[in-house]
Structure 1
Amino acid sequence: MRILIVGGGVVGRTLALALARRGAAVTLLDQRAVAPAASWGNAGHIATEQVEPLASPATLRGVPRRLFWRGGPLGLPPAQARDWLPFALRLAWASRPAQFRRGRTALGQLLAEALPAWQRLAGALGDAALVRADGHLVAWESDASAARGRASWQAADTGTATVHALDAATLARVRALAPGVADAIRFVGSAQVSDLDRLAAALDAALDAVGVMRATGTATLERTGDRVAVPGHPADHVVVAAGVGSRALMAAAGERAPLIAERGYHVRAAAHGWPADLPPLVFEDRSIIATRYADRVQLAGFVEFGRADAPPDPRKWQRLEAHAAALGLPLAAPFERWMGARPTLPDYLPAIGRSTRAANLYYSFGHQHLGLTLAPVTAELLADTIAGAAPAIDLAPYDLRRFGTLA
C-alpha cells in the first residue's frame, strides 16, 4: 500500500512513522509553507490539561480585556479582518454551551491518551528521556490574581492532569527567576518534550530507518471521480496533514475546512541561571510560557488571527522581551525571534478522518495549540483507520462533515 502524506510537521512525521511501521510504503511531502510549521517553534508543552476547548462562552466573554492593544495576548489585525471575521463568527457559533460540552468530551478522549502515546513514541525512537513527565507550573504576580487563577483551574475540567499546591522549595526557585511572583501551582500529569530540535532529528532518523521516502515541493490535489492524486507522487492513498495549507488542498477535493492561521510568537535566549530540571513555567497574568530547551530558554505567547503569509508584527516580539524584563527573568539580548502559524478550526477540535468526497483521501490537521500534544495519538488512530483496523477512539467527532461540504 503506497501512501503519500502531504505535510512535514510533527503530525505528518509521526503519522508517516506509524504507517511505515505497519508495513506501508510511505512518501512524506514537505511543502515548506510560507509560515514555519508551529511544530518546531512551540512551547514543548504536552498539554493534557487543556480539555476545555477555547471555543467557549468564557473565551467570548474574555475577548475585550485580552485584546493586544489593551495589553493582552489576542491580536486581531484590522487589515486582515476579511480573514478573521468569518472565522470569529463561526467560533461564536461553536461556543454555544451544548457545542462546548460536546467539544470538551471529544478533546478529553484524545488528551487522556496523549501522554501514553508520547511515551510509546519516545520508546520507539530509542530516547525515553525525550519526554519529561514532570508536569508544569503556573505562576501569578499578585495574591488576587493567584486566588482567581487557582480557583479557576480547580473548577475546570483538566482531564488526567491534576492541580497541586507548589512546595516551598520550588516556589523559592521560581521567585529566584521571577522575583515578582506571588504564588504558583503545579500540574501533575502534563509533560514536556525535552528539545524540539532533538525530536525532529530523532523522527528523521526513525523515518530513514523504516524507509520513508521524503520530498519537498508544492502539492496540488487533483480529483477524478471518487479519487484524488498529487501529480508527480503516485500513491494508493493520500493524507493531507499540511497545517494551515490543508484548507486549499481539501477544497480541491470538495471538502470544507474553515482553517485560519492562529499565529504565535516566541523569543529565545541563552539559559544563564535557568535550572535545566525546571518544568515549563506559565506566567498566567501575562499569558506567556517559558520553557528550557538544551542551552536556551524560550518565551512564547500571543494569539494572532489572520493570514499565514502576512508579515510578522515586531511589536509581539518586543512585548515578549518587555515581559522578560518586567518579570526580572535572567534572559538578555541577543534574542532569537520566531513566528509560526497554528492551524485552527472554529470549534477548536482537530480534523481527523477519511473524506466522503474521495475514497482514497484521509486528513489530519487543525490541532490548534495541541499539535505537539496530540500528534502521536492522532498518528496511532489514523494509521489504524487507514490500515483497516478499528481505531481505539471513535473518530466521528473529528469528521470534517461537521462543517458541510463545498459544491
Structure 2
Amino acid sequence: MAALANRQDGADGRVVVIGGGVVGLACALRLRLAGVDCLVIDPMHDGQAASWGNAGHIAIEQVAPLASWATLRSLPRRWFGRGGPVDVPRPWSIAPWLWQFLRACSPRRHAAGQQALRGLLADAVPAWRRLLQDIGRPGLLREEGHWVVWESADSERRGLAAWLDGDIGEARATPLADRALAMLQARLDLPLRAGLCFEGSAQVSDTGKLMRALREALLDRGGQWLRAGVAGLAHADGRAGIVLDDSRRIDADRILIAAGPGSRSLMADLGEHAPLIEERGYHLQWRNHDWPDLPPLVFEDRSVILTRFDGGLRLAGFVEFVPPGLPPDVRKWQRLRAHAVALGLPVRGEPEAWCGARPTLPDYLPAIGRSRTAGNVCYAFGHQHLGLTLAAVTADRVLTLLDDPEGASAVAPFDLQRFAD
C-alpha cells in the first residue's frame, strides 16, 4: 500500500470517504489499517442508515440477484396489498428505474450478475473475520448460520425447490432437525411445517455495536471523522473536490463515494449516471423478550426475519420502492406488529420502530469502480440488501482499486459503465 500512502499529487495524500455507513466505514478502516491517512465525512446521524437497521444477517446464500424473471413472476403473490412484502407506492415517480430493472431481468444479464455476485459473496464471511480480528473484535461476528421455516405445505414446496435446487454459493442447506423444529414450535403460537438449516452464513452480534466498534477502531488508529453535510462535488480539470453544506471545500488525493442513496447526486456532479433508488426496509425491536439465543430465523410465508441481538429482538422486513422524501408508511409497522402477535413472539413492552433506505441499483449489483471523469474519485455504493454482508469484502476490493492501476479489472462487473451499454 506504499504507493497510495506516499502519494502527494493531491492535497495531502489522504483518502476522504464520503459516507459513514457500514460500507464507508469498512473501507476507511481497511485503508487506515494499511497505513493510509483517511477522513470519513458522514452526513447522517447514528441510527438513520440501513447499516444500523438491517437484520444483521451475513447473507452469503443470496447469490441470485433479485432482478430476474423469477422475481417478476412472484410479484403478484408478494404484493403488499395481498399481504406480501413488496410495495411501490408511486410507480410513476421511479419509472426509469423500473424500466432498467426489467432490462436487467433478461437471462443473459441475470446470469452475468449472478456470477459476479457469487465471487463477492464467497469471500464475505472470511473478509469480515479478517477485519474484526485485525481490530481485536472477533466476537462481533457469529458464524452460526441461520434457519428458514414454513407454515404451509405450499410454501414448504416452493421454498424447498427454490433453495435446494438454486445456487446458494458457499452456503449449505440441510433439513432443520426435528428437535430444533419442536423447540421453535414450543415457543410459537402457529404450527410450522418444516425448515432448513443453513451453514456458512453468519450474523453480527449487534448492528449498533458493530458500527461503533468500526468507528472507534478507525479513530484509535489515527483516522478522522467529520459529521457534516456534503453539498456536492466541485469538478474541474479531471479532478474533484468536496464542498460541504457550510461552503467549506475539502480536497484530497483520493475521494471514495460511499454515501448510500446520496451517491446518486454526487456522481451526477461528475457527469456520471448512477440509477440508484431508495429501497426502504422496516423493523420493530423489543428490548425485553424471552427469545432464546438462536441464529437468525426467516419466516418465509411472512417474508420477515427475526434476529436476536445483544440489544434486543428485531423483526424486520419489506421491500418498499419510493422516491426520496416520502414519509414512512405506518402500515408496515402495523403489519410487523401483527406478525409478532400471530407468531406469539415472547416480547414485552413497546418496540422501537425504524425505517431506513437501502441504496439499490436496477440489476441488484453494487457499484464499485473508478470515475471516468474525475481521476481522483472511486466509488462503492448500491449494495441493496447486502450492504452489511458485502462491506468487508468491498473494503478489500477498494484497497486494491486505489493502490493498483490494474485493480479496476477485479471489479469490472460492478463498474457503472454497465448502465451506459
**1:173–1:270 distance in 2 versus 1, CA, 3 Å:** farther
Q: One-letter code of the match for 1:142?
A: S
After TM superposition, list the pairs within 5 Å mapping 1:129-148 onto structure 2: 129-148=139-158
TM-score (norm 2): 0.92
Q: One-letter code of the match for 1:264?
A: G
Q: Distance in 2 between matches of 1:100 and 1:293?
A: 34
- Assess if the C-alpha contact under 8 Å between 2:289 and 2:348 holds in 1: no
Deviation above 4 Å: which 4+ runs of structure 1? 389-393
Would you say 1:158 and 2:168 are equivalent positions?
yes
Alignment match, 1:76: 88
Alignment match, 1:353: 369
Alignment match, 2:79: 67
Would you say 1:194 and 2:219 are equivalent positions?
no
Q: Distance in 1 between matches of 2:267 and 2:187?
A: 46
After TM superposition, list the pairs within 5 Å mapping 1:331-370 onto structure 2: 331-370=347-386
CA-based RMSD of the aligned residues comes to 1.7
Deviation, structure 1 residue 128: 1.3
Q: Distance in 2 between matches of 1:92 and 1:381?
A: 29
Deviation, structure 1 residue 393: 7.5
Alignment match, 1:18: 30
Q: Distance in 1 between matches of 2:311 and 2:214?
A: 21
Q: Deviations over 1:144-202 (max 9, x none)?
A: 32122112110110000011011122112221232422211100110001111211121
Alignment match, 1:42: 54
Alignment match, 2:335: 319
Structure 2: state its 5+ residue gaps. 1-12, 244-248
**1:388–1:102 distance in 2 versus 1, CA, 3 Å:** same
2:317 corresponds, among 288, 291, 301, to: 301
Q: One-letter code of the match for 2:120?
A: L
Indicate the SS of the match to 1:395: helix
Deviation, structure 1 residue 33: 7.3
Alignment match, 2:215: 204
1:116 corresponds, among 108, 113, 126, to: 126
- Assess if the C-alpha contact under 8 Å between 2:365 and 2:414 holds in 1: yes
**1:335–1:33 distance in 2 versus 1, CA, 3 Å:** closer
Alignment match, 1:53: 65
Alignment match, 1:255: 272
Q: One-letter code of the match for 2:320?
A: E
Deviation, structure 1 residue 331: 2.4
Deviation, structure 1 residue 332: 3.9
Q: One-letter code of the match for 2:16?
A: L
Q: One-letter code of the match for 2:263?
A: S
Indicate the SS of the match to 2:250: coil
**Sequence identity (%):** 50
After TM superposition, list the pairs within 5 Å mapping 1:370-389 onto structure 2: 370-388=386-404
Q: Distance in 2 between matches of 1:397 and 1:179?
A: 46
- Assess if the C-alpha contact under 8 Å between 1:381 and 1:393 holds in 2: no
Deviation, structure 1 residue 283: 0.2
**1:126–1:313 distance in 2 versus 1, CA, 3 Å:** same
Alignment match, 1:170: 180
Q: Deviations over 1:237-280 (max 9, x none)?
A: 1110000000000000011000000000000113522112x000
Alignment match, 1:88: 98
Deviation, structure 1 residue 227: 0.6
After TM superposition, list the pairs within 5 Å mapping 1:240-251 onto structure 2: 240-251=257-268
Q: One-letter code of the match for 1:182?
A: R
TM-score (norm 1): 0.96
**1:30–1:202 distance in 2 versus 1, CA, 3 Å:** same
Q: Distance in 2 between matches of 1:308 and 1:189?
A: 36
Indicate the SS of the match to 2:290: coil
- Assess if the C-alpha contact under 8 Å between 1:35 and 1:341 holds in 2: no
Q: Distance in 1 between matches of 2:304 and 2:195?
A: 14
Q: Distance in 2 between matches of 1:286 and 1:58?
A: 18
Structure 1: state its 5+ residue gaps. none
Q: One-letter code of the match for 1:171?
A: L
**1:305–1:387 distance in 2 versus 1, CA, 3 Å:** same
Alignment match, 2:137: 127
Q: Distance in 2 between matches of 1:108 and 1:32?
A: 31
